[in-house]
Structure 1
């Protein structure tokens, strides 16, 4: 499930979504200051323009900007307070200190790469924080499963409130977000193995085991390579292979450091990086609006 930090960040929003009927009534009675200052000037009814000689009153210049900057600043403060109360997870510290993999993490980018040499092999393991955002979006869609008509009934409101309370209570103890791994093992002039796997709860579960004569197909770094990879025979589904063969292929990966410690690292690092990128995004938007 989503991280504790993400649950805390989205908790007020989740509760408001689950009580959408009440929110709709509030919005109708008391529209937000942002809507009051921006909606009317966008389109004026033709009759009003024809028969009224009174100029439309507009909000003071940059009022919406100031409100937005103030809100962004409060979000930045909230995130900083969360960060102050957190320590670097032991799984990340242990991996960085003891793993032969080099972490390549470019600020502002979603993808993270783990790279190492193993004999004449070059091994690259990549994952993306987009998995976290996609997972949270799926959770939001599940939370929004009740229709407006259902929420307008007493039973629907009670069910929505119960699900919201249960979700907030259970979230920290539930399993971590599954993270997709793209593993590439290359040998000079020998092509590459491309393994698709999922890291969850410390385990790395192999889904597909491909071989490509051209290593570029394993990385899919260009449209041409991606097209070539789709045309190549991918091999059978991993789960359909002989069980002994599956076990030996998994041992092959473990000997190269693709093991439980990496699975734990990936889950925690994905959460930590997402928090870092989110804070950077907040500050960038705030600086842009305030400029």
Structure 2
């Protein structure tokens, strides 16, 4: 008990001394908390500083070594290109007779091994892979209320029809019958459907264009995304 009183008396003397000479009267516990807060703030600042340094380096590298085209193409063949910043899809629009054609195109969403030109074996590495783009063709005619929807793949130099379905424009049917897989159709019918798309400008040349365009869009969106993250972290 006496030691407790001595300890309390010592603490009281220290507090009075600090107050008398304008010194801090914080307890060891409050001093510890202040020190912890200071250290935490320093760590947070160092962590954010490192992220900002990496982002600046990446942005500078992209801009210096492979800068994107700042004015992407707005027209290709019969199509007008609608590209909105920050979105991962673009839209192509055109008319063919009394048809309104809309093509919705994703950014790269898959890959597959590139076909081998020779007979060599072995597994595919990154250079042997070809990127895949999904695009959906919607064809409507006037006030018919129906849309022919064709889901396709764009490989680097060719298109591939995957499925087609007729659906109502107001989507009243939640799960419309999608028909058979395209490859299950008669070969002659498959060829005729490719000719049908070809006449509307949806062909292998479009596949080449989409791959070039999406490579540039990916670059633009990457740089924009890094800049947005950098601005958020810098904001106080």
TM-score when scaled to structure 1?
Answer: 0.58
1:110 aligns with 2:109: no
1:251 aligns with 2:205: no
Q: Paired residue for 2:132, among 167, 178, 194?
A: 178
Deviation digits for residues 215-264 of structure 1, max 9, x if unmatched? 244xxxxxxx6xx352x222222111111111111100000000011111
CA drift of 1:182 comes to 0.7
1:239 aligns with 2:193: no
Change beyond 3 A, Cα 1:87–1:62: closer
Change beyond 3 A, Cα 1:102–1:280: same
Q: Is the 8 A contact 2:108 2:132 kept in 1?
A: no
Q: Is the 8 A contact 2:138 2:149 kept in 1?
A: yes
Change beyond 3 A, Cα 1:256–1:109: same
CA drift of 1:130 comes to 5.6
Please, what is the CA RMSD of the aligned residues?
2.9
Answer 1 or 2: which has greater helix percent: 1
Q: Is the 8 A contact 1:102 1:115 kept in 2?
A: yes
CA–CA distance in structure 2, aligned partners of residues 87 and 123 of structure 1: 27
Q: Paired residue for 1:72, among 45, 52, 55?
A: 55
Cross-structure match for 1:37: none
CA–CA distance in structure 2, aligned partners of residues 262 and 229 of structure 1: 31
Structure 1 runs not aligned, ≥5 long:
1-49, 140-162, 218-224
CA–CA distance in structure 2, aligned partners of residues 274 and 204 of structure 1: 20
Structure 2 runs not aligned, ≥5 long:
1-28, 114-122
Which secondary structure state, in structure 2, belongs to the residue aligned with residue 256 of structure 1?
coil
Q: Paired residue for 2:105, among 121, 127, 139?
A: 127
Cross-structure match for 1:202: 157
CA–CA distance in structure 2, aligned partners of residues 258 and 275 of structure 1: 25
Which secondary structure state, in structure 2, belongs to the residue aligned with residue 275 of structure 1?
helix
Change beyond 3 A, Cα 1:241–1:114: same
Cross-structure match for 1:58: 39
Q: Indicate the structure whose relative CO is greater, using CA pairs within 8 Å and at least 6 residues apart.
A: 1
CA drift of 1:176 comes to 2.9
CA drift of 1:77 comes to 0.7
TM-score when scaled to structure 2?
Answer: 0.71
CA drift of 1:201 comes to 2.7
Answer 1 or 2: which has greater strand percent: 2
Cross-structure match for 1:271: 215
CA drift of 1:189 comes to 2.4
Cross-structure match for 1:99: 77
Q: Which has the larger radius of gyration?
A: 2
The number of residue pairs the alignment matches comes to 190
